[in-house]
Structure 1
Amino acid sequence: MISLYRPGEGLLHRLPAGAKLLGLAAAALVVSLLPLGVIGTAVLLSAVSLLYPLSGLGWRLLGGAWWRLRGLILVLGAALWLFVGPDTAVQNTGRVIALILLAELVTRTTRMGDLLDVLQSVLQPLRLLGVDPATAALAISLTIAMVPVLAGFVQQVRDAQRARGVRMGPRVGLPLLVLTMKHADDVGDALAARGLAR
């Protein structure tokens, strides 16, 4: 499935796709540049989490999003803790998690067609450079939609490893790669069937 859109009547569902994309880009810039500190990171993650119930997606979807990210939090947090120290680890892991949650929020509250229309109009100037705006828009929208999909794949691999009694570690890479490549093939087949890819 290419789209993770969930129909709803929340505030974010009613916002235009362009405003949501602009907000996501601005949030990525602000979150990347501002020194947050541990308390600021906690406030950021709380604010992003509150957007889920406020947008009408509910606490259950928020809980599922956090649950899927737990492996990434552990691996990324532990690696950063080891190499750069606890405060920086908390801040940088928090930044990544906040942006992933925001990207999922955009994909859950925006129809893929609306996203494509906005991106295509924004990317029109690239036509002067020989870039097809429709193709570039499709690539960007699929990339945004892929963020929560990859988080779900990590969860599937972790569940499968746990069922076999295998601890989470470097062995997650190969199964994750296989799942991602299979998904890419499925998306490519779906696009080709609709005449959107060759």
Structure 2
Amino acid sequence: MLTLYRPGDGFWHRLPAGPTAAVLMVIVLGVCLLPVSYISAAIAAAVCVACYAVPGTGLRELVRQLSVARWILVVTAAGQLLFLGPEDAVANTLRVAAAVVLSGLLALTTPVSELLDALERALAPLALLRLDPQRAALVLAVTLNTLPVLAGLARDVREAQRARGGGRSLRHFAMPFLVLALKHADALGDALTARGMR
């Protein structure tokens, strides 16, 4: 499986996978439950900065994660501005940003194998409902990695366009991006099939 993990020895790297996932999930949930206001937007931004500012991660990585998710944030902000107004747009967009960058932090600092093991243990009660905890854990791990992988593919297509002297045409971007995304999905499907997942 394609992994975004970057080895390191910072706080988030040393924390075991289960507690890391639990802490980040609680933080995201707490940010999402704040009332809609400019103050809650500032709190969401401060929480993200604090989580990335710890030694071993860095604010440069936070900026990179936000850059990867910029189009999601632009679309979210535009929709909120159109239907709800500026305060709601700012607060809700920063909530989405917090969820994206904190899930990115989990993927960057936790090896996929450890994350799968932790998710499998957490989802073990699903076996009582005749659901396979291994499959559920794998689906969650793949989901966590999908957005950053697609963002990386989009970046590669943009860089290839620039290298060839192409403009920023959406029409010229969409087809190569779609081909790469489908190739990635195909490779992921083949990898899962090879491991006995159907």
TM-score range, shorter chain: 0.7 to 0.9
How many residues get paired? 196
Uncovered stretches (5+) of structure 1, i.e. residues with no partner: none
CA shift, 1:165, in A, is: 3.3
User: In structure 2, which of residues 164, 167, 181 is the aligned counterpart of residue 165 of structure 1?
Assistant: 167
| Aligned counterparts of 1:97 and 1:174: Cα–Cα separation in 2 | 27
The yes-or-no answer on 1:73 pairing with 2:79 is no
- Partner letter of residue 2 of structure 2? I
Percent identity over paired residues: 43
Report what 2:35 is aligned to: 35
Alignment of 1:2-21 (within 5 A): 2-21=2-21
Residues 30-179 of structure 1 correspond to what in structure 2 (within 5 A)? 30-156=30-156, 164-166=166-168, 178-179=179-180
Residue 190 of structure 2 corresponds to 189
Q: Shift of residue 174 of structure 1? A: 6.9
CA-CA distance at 1:95 after TM superposition: 0.4
Which has the higher mean CA deviation after the structures are superposed, 48-57 or 15-24? 48-57
Contact 1:103–1:147 (8 Å) recurs in 2 = no
Query: Normalising to structure 1: TM-score of the pair?
Result: 0.84
- Bigger shift: residues 133-142 or 38-47: 38-47
TM-score with structure 2 setting the length: 0.84
Is the Cα–Cα contact under 8 Å of residues 127 and 133 in structure 2 kept in the other structure?
yes
Deviation at 1:33, TM superposition (A): 1.7
CA distances 1:114-157 after superposition (whole Å, capped 9, x unpaired): 11111111111211222111111111111112232233345456
CA apart distance, 1:10: 0.5
Per-residue deviation, 1:94? 0.6
Structure 1 residues 63 and 172, CA, compared in 2 at 3 Å: closer, same or farther? same
Query: Helix, strand or coil: the match of 1:165?
Result: coil
- Pairwise CA distance, 1:113: 1.1
Task: Check whether the contact 1:4–1:145 (CA below 8 A) recurs between aligned residues.
Answer: yes
1:77, 1:89 within 8 Å by CA — same for their partners in 2? yes
Contact 1:71 1:154 in 2 (8 A): no
Instruction: Name the CA shift for 1:5/1:11 in 2 (closer, same or farther; >3 Å).
Output: same
Shift of 1:38: 1.6
Q: CA deviation at 1:161?
A: 7.6
State whether residues 100 and 148 of structure 1, in contact with CA within 8 Å, keep that contact through their aligned partners in structure 2: no
Q: CA separation in 2, counterparts of 1:62 and 1:158?
A: 21
RMSD, matched Cα? 2.7
Distance in 2 separating the partners of 1:161 and 1:88: 36
Distance 1:128 1:47, change over 3 A: closer
* Residues 174 and 32 (structure 1), Cα distance of their counterparts in 2 relative to 1, 3 Å cut: farther
Q: CA deviation at 1:173?
A: 7.1
For 2:69, what is the secondary structure of its paired residue? helix
Q: What letter corresponds to residue 144 of structure 2 in structure 1?
A: I
Conservation of the 8 A alpha-carbon contact between 2:73 and 2:96: no
**In the aligned structure 2, how far is the partner of 1:42 from the partner of 1:173?**
35
For residue 167 of structure 2, what is the amino acid of its counterpart? G
